[in-house]
Amino acid sequence: MLLRISGDLQEDGRHTWLSVNKHVALQVVKCTPKSGKGNYIVYVNFDNDINSFIFSDEEEFTWFQTLRNIKGVGNTKASRILSLFSSGELKTMVKNGDATAFASLPGIGQRTAKRIMVELGCSLDTLSDGEDSFMKELLEACAELGYDARNVQALLKEDPSWRTMSFEEALRWSIDKLNKED
């Protein structure tokens, strides 16, 4: 589930909280170097446990989607990377081939760091253009299967529930929805 929330992002030493008003606060996994009052994107993941990840903008969420789908990374490491590095810093690291910064993070070895560099390098043009790489991949996959790109794009913009799914789940979901329209 993907939500846009205005609130105040604060850390209390052990946890990160997004205060929506004086009575409601959500405990979140911080995926942004930003703190304080602002508009945030909250991604609620229902895999094994319920986790809420917070992003300051769509670009950070796109980086998260790309990072979490890299073998050996997943949600936790992707959130750790994004909480330490801004989108601009990530772009610079990838352009400079700086795998050492990734390898210095807990739980990420040299092999995973190199894999991150390769995968992000392939995605950098899409990410740096501010375009949603996940959406682009879905559009391309559906077009290869013979679906009209305009219909696919309209579907993806109309119903954002696919953003919380893995690529395979989102592709199946898209095909099911497109077949029901016909």
Contact 37, 48 (CB under 8 A): no
pLDDT of residue 176: 92
Q: Which two tokens stand for residue 132?
A: 């949603």
61-99: burial string, b at 16+ Cβ within 10 Å, e else: bbbbbbbbbbeebebebbbbbbbebbbeebbebbeeeeb
**Residue pLDDT, tens place only, 57-81:** 888 888 888 888 888 888 888 888 8
> pLDDT value at position 41?
85
Task: Identify residue 158 by its one-letter amino acid code.
Answer: E
Tokens representing 77 are 């490491």
pLDDT digits (tens, 9 = 90+) for 86-121: 888 888 888 777 788 888 888 888 888 888 888 887
pLDDT for residue 168: 84
Percent of all residues in the chain with a pLDDT value above 70, rounded to a whole number? 92
Which DSSP string do the residues of the chain spell out, in sequence order?
Answer: -EEEEEEEEEE-SS-EEEESSSS-EEEEEE-SS--EEEEEEEEEE-SSS-EEEEESSHHHHHHHHHHHTSTTTHHHHHHHHHHHS-HHHHHHHHHHT--HHHHTSTT--HHHHHHHHHHHHHHHHHHHTT--HHHHHHHHHHHHTT--HHHHHHHHHH-GGGGGS-HHHHHHHHHHHHHHH-
Q: Using alpha carbons, select from 121, 30, 47 the residue that is nearest to residue 82.
A: 30
In tens, the pLDDT along 8-45 reads 998 888 888 888 888 888 888 888 888 889 888 888 87
Neighbours of 120 (CB within 10 A): 21
The pLDDT tens digits of the residues spanning 114-166 come to: 888 888 876 665 554 444 667 878 888 888 888 887 888 888 888 877 877 87
